[in-house]
Amino acid sequence: MVSIRETHNLSAQVQPDSLGRFGRFGGKYVPETLMPALTELEAAYAQYRVDPSFQAELQQLLHDYVGRPTPLYFAERLTQHYQRPDGTGAQIYLKREDLNHTGAHKINNALAQVLLAKRMGKQRIIAETGAGQHGVATATVCARFGLQCIVYMGIHDMERQALNVFRMRLMGTEVRPVEAGTGTLKDATSEAIRDWVTNVESTHYILGSVAGPHPYPMMVRDFHAVIGTETRAQCQQKWGGLPDILLACVGGGSNAIGMFYEFVNEPTVRLIGVEAAGEGVSTAKHAATLTQGRIGVLHGAMSYLLQDEDGQVVEAHSISAGLDYPGVGPEHSYLKDIGRGEYYSVTDAQALDAFKNLAQLEGIIPALETAHAIAYLDILCPQLSGSPRIVINCSGRGDKDVQTVVKLGTVISDE
Amino acid sequence: MISDRFQSLRSRQECALIPFITAGDPYLETTAEALYILDRHGADFIELGVPYADPLADGPVIQAAATRALQRGTRLEQVLEMVATVSPNLKAPLILFTYYNPILNRGVRAFCQQIASAGVRGLVVPDLPLEEATELIQAAADSGIETTLLVAPTSSPERIAAIARQSQGFIYLVSVTGVTGVRSHLQERVKTLLTDMRRITDKPIGVGFGISGAEQARQVKDWGADAAIVGSAFVKHLAAANSTEGLQAIAQLCRELKAAVTTTSLMVNS
């Protein structure tokens, strides 16, 4: 069984400094009211991450409730799809985070944070959600532990993700619609922070990505690092080596960092993050923060940010509600700047093709977020020689997105 | 300088009134008018909010004002042009209230020089806590701008002491655990905090977030504050009526509030 490792075992280069910075990125850009809460959270996390009873409870729940470890699946038909006439081509594996309870990787973090919140004596939980996967994961663990739960969600996302809104409400969570801005993840996050500023003494904020002020980017990464540690063990078991390429979608970047982190110090492993190019990075409608953004501050952290020439945060666009975010986790910005991570983008249309492709080749309907990572194979595979092993983080399942795709009416035809 | 003016207010045992308005709501011309009016009707300093797309320390009233201003195309450049025209004619020093990203976007040093040449004297950045503020405080000081830091009801005594040491012009005591906006009652905690802060600093203390009316303004004055900062109530007036009525309303509110924080000295004088 893998467990969250202790700081001293890890390379210093991917640990934030005392101000919570990865290089120049990260930090704590929040109203003073929240600073004591962040200090309290840092202290609690430092204590419980090495606490055997906390770890034992977490590991057991990850195993029995979440369903870990998730399989590393060899995608045979997808592999054949990209095979060259001479029989070479990428060997494609899927890390099946979609098989987790609630259908995405998000449950790893929500579960761990709710255990932490309970130990901190917090009875009220708030969260933000875009696609609803983090909201559902948080609603689930709050139901499991009998805690009051309020989830902020943009009104536009509530429409796109009606199924997940229903699931959250069914589990007793109050879903609060956010009308500000574009009614998407950025606005839901701001509203959750406002709630936290107001109710900080009774409330724990289960932030859903590797974004936000320190210690969230580090803590959420650690809670998802189980994805990468399992992957390493499974690769070892299947072929006795490391993967050559890791591929994951990046909105805030939690599933990607969860997979990458284990391999950051393995120079032979390429780390590739795929952002949402929406209608194209040359248009105003995309969410390709690392590709197109400039350094800025959003939701408490310094990172790459989509902003206009005045430093106003601009609206992001993606067909995928989970990628529709103008910021990105600070550790990704750092990995990009030091050249350790590679970040590219694919459009809505390319993601929709991949959505359909994976369904028809493998019988797996991926989340539209995940479909972005799959779609990059079209670009990546022709560039590769030999038969490198690619592991794609299949971060979530696509049930929630079926209505979105049906409405577009363009993808499915009788072929 | 902000601190100089506080000194002279203090020598007269006067509590300052600091109204806040959002630049560009409803129009930038109205904002210019409003600055003159507040200056004439009792404002000792004026806090001018730069509209920002993601104002996470603000409640619904100021957030909506910022959204309207941005939708009308208000840009920092224009705000500063307006300030440059208006500020030479104001007695009350101007304090700019802005989130950090627009500052970072221009470059900390360039931003400070630019606002200083427009006539701004002070700076409040609600999402920049002490730990992240060093660079800005230095750059601002080099341009003759005083950067005021915020203290919250949740701040520990150690943090309060450290913030008080670094804060310039005055110390901004946030009176509620929460975002900006009108509250019906002020927390008694503010009284305790003011008493505690008095023991560790002789810098002026302004109390804001949640003060809307004369009674609350008088309350913070009686608790020993050097300034009462009132935002949402002014912003509401400017947003609710047509501009003429809005401007009349803020003139009246400003007079009432100033009277409330100077009751004692008026009585002494009369």
Is B54 a residue of the active site?
A: no
Tell me, what's the pLDDT at A408? 87
- Of A28, A200, A298, nearest to B54 by CB-CB distance is A298
Tell me, what's the pLDDT at A366? 98
Chain A residues lying within 8 Å of B63, measured CB to CB: 180
Residue type present at position B147? T
Residue type present at position B196? D
| Å between A90 CA and nearest CA of chain B | 42
Determine which one of B58, B135, B142, B215 is catalytic: B58
Tell me, what's the pLDDT at B165? 98
CB pairs under 8 A between A and B: 121
What digits encode the pLDDT tens for the residues B11-24?
Answer: 998 999 999 999 99
Determine which one of A97, A128, A331, A362 is catalytic: A128
Rounded to an integer, what distance in angstroms lies between the CA atom of residue A412 and that of residue A405?
9
Tell me, what's the pLDDT at A154? 95
| Å between B219 CA and nearest CA of chain A | 22
The pLDDT confidence band at residue B186, using thresholds 50, 70 and 90, is: confident
Tell me, what's the pLDDT at A5? 42
The total of other beta-carbon atoms located within 10 Å of residue B193's CB is 23
Chain B residues lying within 8 Å of A19, measured CB to CB: 131-132
| Contact between B177 and A186 using a beta-carbon 8 Å cutoff | no
Strands annotated E in A29-102: 72-74, 91-95
CB A208, CB A127: distance < 8 Å: yes
Tell me, what's the pLDDT at B269? 40
Q: Is the peptide bond before A330 cis (omega within 30 degrees of 0)?
A: no
Q: What is the ipTM for the molecules in this complex?
A: 0.94
Is A395 a residue of the active site?
A: yes
Rounded to an integer, what distance in angstroms lies between the CA atom of residue A37 and that of residue A325?
25
Tell me, what's the pLDDT at A33? 95
Q: Which of A3, A205, A34, A175 shows the shortest CA–CA distance to A110?
A: A205
Residue type present at position A255? N
Chain B residues lying within 8 Å of A194, measured CB to CB: 56, 59, 179
- Of A28, A295, A305, nearest to B132 by CB-CB distance is A28
Tell me, what's the pLDDT at B240? 78
B29: which residues sit within 8 A by CB, 6+ positions away? none
Using DSSP bridges, classify how beta strands A21-22 and A25-26 pair: parallel, antiparallel or unpaired: antiparallel
- Mean pLDDT split into 10-residue runs, chain A, 415 residues: 41 75 97 95 96 98 98 98 96 98 98 98 96 96 98 94 96 96 89 95 96 98 98 98 98 98 97 98 95 97 97 94 95 97 98 98 98 98 97 97 87 54
Residue A306's SS3 state is: coil
Rounded to an integer, what distance in angstroms lies between the CA atom of residue A220 and that of residue A226?
11
Mean of the pLDDT values across residues B159-185? 93
DSSP codes of every residue in chain B: -HHHHHHHHHHTT--EEEEEEETTSS-HHHHHHHHHHHHHTT-SSEEEEPP-S--TT--HHHHHHHHHHHHTT--HHHHHHHHHHHGGG-SSPEEEE--HHHHHHH-HHHHHHHHHHHTEEEEE-TT--GGG-HHHHHHHHHTT-EEEPEE-TT--HHHHHHHHHH--S-EEEE-SSS-SS--SS--HHHHHHHHHHHHH--S-EEEESS--SHHHHHHHHHTT-SEEEE-HHHHHHHHHS-HHHHHHHHHHHHHHHHHHHTHHHHHHH-
- Look at the block and give the residue holding tokens 């991926």: A366
Q: Is A174 part of the contact surface with chain B (CB cutoff 8 Å)?
A: no
Q: Which two tokens stand for residue B35?
A: 């600055």
| Contact between A197 and B178 using a beta-carbon 8 Å cutoff | yes
Q: Which one-letter DSSP state was computed for residue A123?
A: -
Rounded to an integer, what distance in angstroms lies between the CA atom of residue A173 and that of residue A83?
47
Chain B residues lying within 8 Å of A25, measured CB to CB: none
Residue type present at position A320? S
